[in-house]
Amino acid sequence: MPGLLNSTHVTQEMEQLIVELKSIFYKNLETLTRGCLNRHRAIPSGGEIVGLLLFGGSFFDEQPCHYCTADNEFINASKVAGCKKKVSGYFAKIGFSPFTRKYLENKRVRYDSASDPRTEEYDALEHNNEIACGFLDVFGYNGSLLLARVERKLRNVTEQQPLTIPAINERAKALAHAVTHGQQFKVTGGHHLTSNDFLIADAIGCLEKEQKAMTVERKTRQKQQLQYESALPLFEKPESALLSKDLDILLRYKLGELPGNLKTKAEKLRRWQELKDQPSPTLQPWTAEDEEMYKGLMEKEITLADTALG
């Protein structure tokens, strides 16, 4: 539907149709309710009554009462509101068929200050108001208290730009995480993709997997090293002198994590006695060289040379 962004409440032809449809529907409902009450009958509420209210027809078998239509017929809301002539009128009113901009004549359409056809009228009102307030100032009154301005809507019109532009890493990084057509359309703004974009995006996806795997390995090895350094002074300590927190440290070194079922010191000590003579985990300290390699991987920028084409 063509039109201003702030005129959709005017340009929705189906809402024009529904307004009259609802009006007849409620009129039929009132007729039915009054007719039932006048005849001392229960008002029907089942789903079958909806057809009567929408498409009309007969309901009462006996002679019509004062509150019913003369021929005991309910109005066909669908036929009256949705007839070809009225629907054509709705379309013409909003400029859909024939195709015009007639809907802009509707007073409910809101404009910004740059496109409002009543701009000159607003300017004249403000000018006359300033003159009148000036006369009040001349005669010793505070005319500024009555100074008024027409409230106008301002809109900054900017050209729509895609989130990214071609042949840069930002687009490739965004494409690496765009797994659906809709996401790719959002990234590119509907523009064409180049083979370079796809190749670099694929390489970035592989790089991120490597970075994630190395981050997990780094965290695991640093944690293991810290557990070993914490447990080392306790290896020579007599078991009778071990505190509950000491046993926690020793068990974490052997198992990686402290089991949740060990609540008391006696349980922890018993478990430590079972584990202490078993082989310890293989220690792989995280060295300075490893850290340098990790930083290089995390800071790496993918270029075309890193792809299958390169």
Q: Map out the domains of the chain as residue ranges.
A: 13-105, 111-157, 169-207, 214-288
pLDDT tens sequence across 229-276:
888 888 878 887 888 888 888 888 888 888 778 888 888 888 888 888
Give residue 83's pLDDT: 81
Residue 308, φ and ψ in degrees, nearest 5: -65, -30
Give the burial class of 5: count Cβ atoms within 10 A of its Cβ; 0-12 exposed, 13-18 middle, 19 or more buried: exposed
- Listed in sequence order, the residues at least 6 apart from 99 whose beta carbon sits closer than 8 Å to its beta carbon are 2
Provide mean pLDDT across the span 210-217: 91
DSSP readout, the chain? --S-TT-TTTS-HHHHHHHHHHHHHHHHHHHHHHHHHHTT-PPP-STHHHHHHHH-EE---S---TTS-TTSEE--HHHHHT-HHHHHHHHHHHTTTTT--GGGGSTT---BTTT-TTHHHHHHHHHHHHHHHHHHHHTTS-GGGG------B---------SS-TTSHHHHHHHHT--SHHHHHHHHTTPPPPHHHHHHHHHHHHHHHHHHHHHHHHHHHHHHHHHHHHHGGGTTS-GGG--HHHHHHHHHHHHSS--TT--SHHHHHHHHHHHTTSPPPPP----HHHHHHHHHHHT----GGGSS--
Distance (Å, whole) CA 128 – CA 122 = 10
> Which range is most confident: 8-17, 108-117, 184-193, 276-285?
276-285
Check pLDDT > 50 for residue 5.
no
Q: Give the residue-averaged pLDDT of 123-128.
A: 90
User: pLDDT per residue over 163-207, tens digit each?
Assistant: 454 555 666 777 777 767 777 777 766 666 666 777 777 778 888
pTM beyond cutoff 0.85: no
| Cβ contact 172:197 at 8 Å | yes
Peptide bond into 98 cis (omega under 30): yes
Question: Which of 114-128, 133-147, 158-172, 206-220 shows the lowest mean pLDDT across its residues?
Answer: 158-172
The predicted-structure confidence for 59-90, as pLDDT tens digits, reads as follows: 765 544 444 444 457 888 888 887 888 778 77
Taken as a whole, the chain contains a residue count of 310
Confidence check: pLDDT of 298 > 80: yes
The listed range with the strongest mean pLDDT (1-5, 51-55, 132-136, 185-189) is 132-136
